[in-house]
A and B are shown apart, each in its own frame.
Chain A
Amino acid sequence: MRRTFGQSLSLYGGVLVIALAIGLPFWWVLTGSIKLPKEIIQRVPTMVPHSFTLQHFEKLLQASDFPIYLFNSMVVALFSTAFTVLLALPAAYAFFRMEFPGRNALYKTILLAYAFPGVVVLIPLYGLFAKVGLIDSPVALVIVNVAFALPFSIWMMRSFLATVPREIEEAAIVDGAPTTTILVRILMPLIAPGIASVAIFAFISSWTEFLFASVLIVSDVRRTIPVGFAGIIGQYQIDWGLLLAGATAAIIPVVALFALVGRWFVAGLTDGAVK
């Protein structure tokens, strides 16, 4: 059905408002990071930069600890992602494709863990990590990140597994293939988008995690971006150019990742959502 003029106007008006509400702040940060300092703090801000400089990025990469934070964040996020996928995949398969006693109760308990307040286990976890000597170690962050990403990741696999016809597995069973072979050889390629979604979710969770990283990591050289960066905010008199360049540099990896597999991630998020 065709829209009336008024309907079109309100639809595109709404689209514009959303685009501006989300995009404009990012536009300002992006353009701010290449403005000269005096343009950044100008009384009447400019929408389009009038000056161009890479001095903030130079300072960020050469005079600050940002490259170290970036490296630490990458390492923690990649390991967190790998372990989340390794644990979530078989668990999701069992929950959504197999039958076993206590399945529903276990599944619900795991779901509850998704909304579990991190700060509640922060204190005892600190004690436990201290006992085994994992304070100030990226291993501790990986463990925590995997634990908090896991419940949602399992849940997200549901809609992707549902797209695979059961006949495919049944045919393989009749052919006498062992279950692990079915999982690895036949199912994996079919649910690749699901694996990508779980990976991106785990990566983003780790990339943005602040609370545990602020407590479990003590020395500056082991910090990840969120905590290290928060330290830069308060360090000197606020150097907006440096912060905006840092913000831009922290956005780029997740945006790049999202550009590659974001579509699947959104599908995974929405398809399983209402069940």
Chain B
Amino acid sequence: MATETTLQPFDFARDPFATKQRGLWEMAFQRLIRNRLAFVSAIILIFITVLAISAQLVPFIERHDATVQQYSIVNEGPSSEYWLGTDILGRDMWARLLYGTLFSLKIGLGTQLIVLLVGITIGMGAALGGKLSDTILMWFTDLAYAFPDLLAIILLRQVLFGRDWPIIGTGDPQIPGFPSAILGTILAISLVSWVTIARLVRGQMLSIKEQDYVLAARSIGASPWRVVRAHMLPNTLSTVIVSVTFGIPLAIFAEGALGFIGLGVPSPYTSLGALMGDGYAYLFVNNWLVVWPAIMVAILMLCFTFLGDGLRDALDPRTRK
């Protein structure tokens, strides 16, 4: 029997759409990559993060110990041995800058993690929990909104730094890599900034609740939890992701501001804010000390802002130009 090689009608339909099927996230990713500014920002951020982490692990990148004081070479400018110069105690600025950057990145990300948990919980609770919980939770949100941000952060920072830290057990770095100085700062900032995301999630949830696809899901008997998990949460996700991306630079900014006015993390820890505060105090002696952390904060804030812009455009095609 001869093999069937004759062409059948509608054969072409067997391979109807050669174009690859792309999901929402893949399409968003494609759009993000095509946004040059956002893409470059993402690369720079990854590079800085990797550099800052590896400086803690590989002496070759750290070059000099960030804590070793050398009184013979204080306040030196940039040189081939000390790339960014040395500070008032003769510590290598390159190593200190990377250390501070890692600290600030931890604060930025840690803050957003807490903000995410608190914000989504409160936003969802307000939108879906009925009239009473909406009123109570939104009243809390209004209350948090009534405090000027920085003022509340300063107050909370004082309150949280003034006590021991047995949240879970004893000993200082209770979460590896997150000593109490970081935890205090993270909590102080996140207790102020969850408000934005809570309001966003509430608004989104309230409008999604009325959508036809939610009605459809409920009418075919999906449990309320399934409706929330499978239909409502994923649809708030893009708003939340964008808000978090913009939240990271705001947290880094808040920490920087704290450090700048002298309320940064205590020694031996250092953050970009603390570095700025120290450098600013010795502005007349050594300009470099404030310049390096300032440039680093500026790069981080610019990159996160561009990335946030890119993500917003990528995730919501309607806003694209």
The finding on whether chains A and B are genuine partners in a shared complex, rather than unrelated, reads no
Binding site for A on B (CB under 8 A): none
User: A residues within 8 Å of B by Cβ?
Assistant: none
